[in-house]
Amino acid sequence: MTRFRLVSCAALLAFLAPVVAPAQSAPIRIGFLAPLTGPFAQIGKDMVNGNQLYLAEIGGQVAGHKIEVLVEDDEGNPATALNKSRKLVEQDKIQILTGGMLANVGYALQPYIDAQKIPTTYPVIAADDITQRKPAKWIVRTGWSTSQPMHPFADWVLKNTKYRKIAAIGMDIPTNVRCTGRTRLTAMLVRGTDRYGHFDDEPRPRVDFGAAERAIHADAVLRFRASNAEQTSRYASAVR
């Protein structure tokens, strides 16, 4: 059994200790969110298949309890994920919620999860603030956080190599995609033409760490944080 599985099982048992009925025959009902349609569908299907494979390996039970997994398609959409979570918690009466892939889904679900006090694990969602600046009370991260590997890696590179330049790799987003919030984000056009104008153009840097380049980066970060705060507030208000 891998360390990840051990941590996952330990978290599951710790969460369920006070909520599972004493009878050994009582099943454990788990709600599983994954993007099964949309651009991330293949990854979502891999998540579900991996979960089913592991359940088969352990005989579909833990600590003498049969495990029932109810899978819902969150479409990679925060609003859909929130609605599906409500169904799982309030109608299907699950005892633990897990899954999810995207950071925006993880942030959108946090207020509802904490309000409902539903034990939850995030095995894939790596959004930092779930366990850092604004830690959730009812979510256990069984995977990793986005910035986690970078801190020791940067320290090692600085102490053991002569490299002093960093290359950042980001997602290639098509120009027809747009943010649903009021804050306009910036984006750099890497190829083709932009026929939609959903983003403000972010010019290519001419020098490393130039004054203009740092100002452009600072503006992009401020916009991103404002947009994230706006959408987090929107989805949080939906569960009040």
pLDDT in tens, 54-102: 999 999 999 889 999 999 999 999 999 999 999 999 999 999 999 999 9
pTM for the full predicted model: 0.62
pLDDT value of residue 177: 85
> What pLDDT is recorded for position 239?
58
Tell me the sheet residues that pair with 121: 140
The confidence score (pLDDT) of residue 26 equals 87
CA distance linking residue 125 with residue 104, whole number of Å: 9
Q: Cβ distance 34 to 44 under 8 Å?
A: yes
pLDDT value of position 167: 79
Res 1: pLDDT? 40
The string of pLDDT tens digits covering residues 113-131 is 999 999 999 999 998 888 8
Distance CA 54, CA 1 (A): 10
Helix (H) or strand (E) holding 62: strand 61-62
Q: Which residues on adjacent β-strands are paired with residue 99?
A: 33
Predicted confidence at residue 85, as pLDDT, reads: 97
Point out which residues pair with 139 in neighbouring strands.
120
Number of Cβ atoms within 10 Å of the Cβ of 59: 9
* Alpha helices for 69-210 (secondary structure H): 78-86, 103-116, 150-160
Which pLDDT belongs to residue 236?
66
Compute the Cα dihedral for 61, 62, 67, 73 and give only its sign: negative
Under-50 pLDDT residues of the chain: 1-10, 13-14, 17-22
pLDDT at 192: 86
The full set of domain ranges for the chain reads 3-147, 165-235
Q: What is the CATH number assigned to the segment(s) 3-147?
A: 3.40.50.2300
Provide long-range contacts, Cβ within 8 A and 24+ apart, for 206-211.
Answer: 208/165
Of 133, 72, 81, whose CA–CA distance to 102 is shortest?
A: 81
